[in-house]
């Protein structure tokens, strides 16, 4: 099946979506007065919380950390916080920073994760977006070479930035992760402190700081405890837990 796409300028993809940022983009976003949300998910070294076929990709974008008496891998995403319309969207639904918009905005509607196929039905774009425009996917293959290069750049930045992101988290006191597939822990740091942490992170020693897991239920908690991981037992003071499992 072939997929075509042409943006119709509805602005839906620019509203209520937290856009993943590279480190340089996060610096720019904060300097421009925007807020950056920190989203964290992890899995254990024994594979708990992760499908086997996804492990290589997940490990490459994660930092290896201790949790209790076991080993965990933590993936940290810095994202533009957009509750409502993006702050850079003007009255005509046009991007006011179009020439320097984040990589993920340039890549849309394609997915960054290689294990998530493009599904037009899962996007908020109106039907006419998929009825016209250049071909994106032909015979199951992405044919837009420029788009493929941007996706490669985004994935590589995700891998290159992970150690610095973990150092930023250490400076901000972020040490609680969700289990991949169960949810995310979400932090909204003070942007002044965030900007300072970004500047100081390169000088941080490479020390593996211990992380703890926040989970949605006792069934998952017991699996983590049996594997030796540490579980969060206190009421969250500086983050929110975003569950992914159905209640």
How far, CA to CA in Å, does 173 sit from each of 148, 215, 240?
Answer: 36, 19, 14
Summary count for the chain: helices (H), strands (E): 7, 11
Residue pair 40/76 in contact by the 8 Å Cβ criterion: yes
For the question of whether the overall pTM of this predicted structure is more than 0.85, the answer is yes
- The CA radius of gyration of the chain, in Å to the nearest whole number, is 19
Whether pLDDT at 246 is above 80: no
Beta bridge pairs of residue 70: 67
pLDDT (tens digit per residue) in 33-90:
999 999 999 999 888 878 888 999 999 999 999 999 999 999 999 999 998 999 999 9
Name the DSSP class of 231.
B
Residue pair 81/18 in contact by the 8 Å Cβ criterion: yes
């Amino acid at each position: 099946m072939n997929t075509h796409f042409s943006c119709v300028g509805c602005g839906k993809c620019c509203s209520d979506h937290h856009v993943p940022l590279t480190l340089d983009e996060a610096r720019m976003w904060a300097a421009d007065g925007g807020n950056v949300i920190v989203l964290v998910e992890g899995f254990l070294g024994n594979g708990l919380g992760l499908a086997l076929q996804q492990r290589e990709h997940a490990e490459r974008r994660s930092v290896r950390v201790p949790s209790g008496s076991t080993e965990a891998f933590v993936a940290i995403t810095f994202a533009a916080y957009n509750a409502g319309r993006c702050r850079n969207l003007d009255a005509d639904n046009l991007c006011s920073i179009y020439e320097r918009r984040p990589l993920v905005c340039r890549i849309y509607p394609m997915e960054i994760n290689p294990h998530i196929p493009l599904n037009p039905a899962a996007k908020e774009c109106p039907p006419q977006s998929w009825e016209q425009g250049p071909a994106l996917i032909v015979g199951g293959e992405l044919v837009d070479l420029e788009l493929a290069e941007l996706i490669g750049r985004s994935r590589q930045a995700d891998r290159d930035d992970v150690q610095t992101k973990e150092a930023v988290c250490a400076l901000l006191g972020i040490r609680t992760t969700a289990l991949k597939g169960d949810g995310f822990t979400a932090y909204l740091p003070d942007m002044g402190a965030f900007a300072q942490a970004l500047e100081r992170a390169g000088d941080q020693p490479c020390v593996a700081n211990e992380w703890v897991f926040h989970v949605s239920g006792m069934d998952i908690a017991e699996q983590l405890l049996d594997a030796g991981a540490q579980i969060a037992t206190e009421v969250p003071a500086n983050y929110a837990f975003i569950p992914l499992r159905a209640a």
